[in-house]
Amino acid sequence: MDIAANAYCVLLVWRRAAHAEAGDWEQFDAVDHLQPRWGAVVLVSMLLAVMMEAWIGFHPLTA
């Protein structure tokens, strides 16, 4: 989930840049509102992964 959300965030950044270069400010604003939401999904999923690792204590190099 985290990797897919992160990839989608990158896609949104590229789309936002393309709309800005084209001067399509309406689409720029639409994409600009989506990117922080998906960035929050990435942040929450990474924080959950860190908390799970700390709680379980699993480390792939010691397994």
Amino acid 49: pLDDT: 85
63 within some domain = no
33 within some domain = yes
| pTM, to two decimals | 0.70
Host domain of residue 9: 2-56
The answer on pLDDT for 3 being more than 90 is: no
Q: How many domains does the chain have?
A: 1
Cα dihedral 55, 59, 62, 63 sign: positive
Average pLDDT over the chain, rounded to an integer: 87
Amino acid 59: pLDDT: 64
26 within some domain = yes
* Residues 39/48/7/36 CA torsion (nearest 10 deg): -10
Percentage of the chain with pLDDT > 70?
A: 89
62 within some domain = no
Q: Cα-flanking dihedrals φ and ψ of residue 58, to 5°? A: -85, 135
Amino acid 55: pLDDT: 79
The answer on pLDDT for 45 being more than 60 is: yes
The answer on pLDDT for 4 being more than 80 is: yes
